[in-house]
DNA sequence: CTGTTTGCAAAAAATTTGCATTACC
DNA sequence: GGTAATGCAAATTTTTTGCAAACAG
C-alpha cells in the first residue's frame, strides 16, 4: 500500500473534505499508476467497479487533489491533460504519436537529451522547459 | 526587416503555397513580436489593417507555419495556445497569474531556476521540462 | 439532520472543419 | 481559368458549471 494514501486521506479529513468512495477510487488510481492517465482513462477505470461514476466527478476530484498539492497536471498540445500522482516537477518523455508519457528522473540539461534517448529508446526531436511563477507586476498585485 | 521573412516567403512559394496578404500579415506579426501572442491576439492585430480577417485563417496560417517548422506553439494549462516566432525549443518563463511569457535563453538546469528568478524578477514556484519524440513502438509503426 | 458531493445535462472555451465565395498564380 | 485559400458558421473536443438528488459526517 502506498504510504501517501493514508496521509492524503488524513489531510482531506483535516480540511473537512468528505471522504467519498469516488474520491478514494480516483486517488488510488493516481497513486498506483505510472501511466499519466487522462480524465477519461481514470473514468473508465473507476467505472469498472463503480458503474455510477461520472466524468465530472473525476475532474472535480483531480482538481481538488491538484489544489491540495498532491498530484500534478500535464497539458498536452491537443488541449487535453494528463494527471500524475507525483506532484513535484520532473522531466517527462512524451511520444509525439501515441502520447505515451514516461518519467525521466535525472538532471543536467545539456547531456540530458542524449541520455534520455539512450535510456528510453525514444528518438527525441524536441523538448520543452518552462518555469512558472509570478512576474514582478503580479507579485505586487498579489499583495493588495 | 527580419531576414527570415523573405526566406520563409520563398519557402512557401517553393512549396506552392499561395502568398496571400493574410498569411503575410500573420507571419510579420510572429516574426516581429516577443510577446508570444494567442491566436486571438494575432487576429485582433491583423484586423486593424485587414478588417475581413477571420480567426479561422489565423489558426490555419499558424498551423501551416508550424508544419513548415518556422514557428512553435506553446500549450498552456488552460487549454489555449501561444505562438512563438522562434521555432527552436527554448526555456520560457510563464506568469501563473497574467500569463505573460518571456524567453530565457541560457542553460544548465540545476542553477537555472535561481538564475531565472534573479534575471527576470519572477518568483519561480515550479517548472516544466518535457522531451518529445517517438517511442520505440511508434518508430517501428512509422516505417510501415 | 445539515450541508457537501455526486451525476446528469447543459454551458463554455479553444480549435477545427465544411463549404460556398474569393482571389492568387 | 483552375485551384487553393478565405471566412463564415457549425461541429468537435475537453473541461467546467448549475442544480436536483444522494449521502457523509
CB atoms within 10 A of CB B12: 20
Task: Of A43, A104, A29, give the one whose Cα is nearest residue A71.
Answer: A29
Scan residues 80-139 of B and list those with Cβ closer than 8 Å to A: 81, 89-98, 100, 104, 107-110, 112-113, 116-117, 120-139
Assess whether A60 (CB) lies less than 7 A from strand C: yes
DSSP state of A81: E
Q: pLDDT tens across B129-138, in order?
A: 878 787 877 8
Residue listed under C-alpha cell 461520472: A54
Instruction: Specify the pLDDT at position A13.
Output: 95
Q: Are B30 and B42 in contact (CB under 8 A)?
A: yes
Q: pLDDT tens across B65-121, in order?
A: 999 999 999 888 888 899 999 998 888 888 877 888 888 776 666 677 888 888 888
- Within 8 A by CB and 6+ apart from A20, the residues are none
Q: pLDDT tens across A5-49, in order?
A: 999 999 999 999 999 999 999 999 999 999 999 999 999 999 998
Inter-chain CB proximity A132 and B100 less than 8 Å? no
- Interatomic separation, CA of residue A2 and C1' of nucleotide D24, rounded (Å): 24
Residue listed under C-alpha cell 518571456: B102
Cell, residue A88: 513535484
Give the C-alpha separation, A104 to A84, whole Å: 13
- Within 8 A by CB and 6+ apart from A80, the residues are A38
Give the C-alpha separation, A27 to B44, whole Å: 43
Q: Does B142 touch chain A (CB under 8 A)?
A: yes
Q: Residue B111: enclosing H or E segment and its boundaries?
A: helix B109-120
The pTM (predicted TM-score) of the whole model is 0.86
Inter-chain CB proximity A129 and B128 less than 8 Å? yes
Q: pLDDT tens across A120-138, in order?
A: 888 887 778 878 788 877 8
Amino acid at each position: 500500500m502506498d504510504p501517501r494514501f493514508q496521509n492524503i486521506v488524513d489531510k482531506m479529513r483535516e480540511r473537512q473534505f468528505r471522504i467519498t468512495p469516488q474520491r478514494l477510487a480516483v486517488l488510488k488510481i493516481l497513486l498506483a499508476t505510472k501511466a499519466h492517465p487522462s480524465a477519461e482513462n481514470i473514468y473508465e477505470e473507476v467505472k469498472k467497479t463503480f458503474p455510477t461514476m461520472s466524468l465530472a466527478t473525476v475532474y472535480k476530484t483531480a482538481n481538488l487533489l491538484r489544489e491540495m498539492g498532491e498530484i500534478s497536471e500535464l497539458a498536452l498540445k491537443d488541449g487535453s491533460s494528463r494527471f500524475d500522482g507525483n506532484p513535484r516537477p520532473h522531466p517527462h518523455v512524451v511520444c509525439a504519436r501515441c502520447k505515451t508519457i514516461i518519467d525521466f528522473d535525472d538532471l543536467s540539461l545539456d547531456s540530458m537529451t542524449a541520455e534520455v534517448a539512450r535510456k528510453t529508446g525514444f528518438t527525441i526531436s524536441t523538448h520543452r522547459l518552462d518555469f512558472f511563477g509570478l512576474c514582478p507586476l503580479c507579485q505586487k498585485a498579489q499583495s493588495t
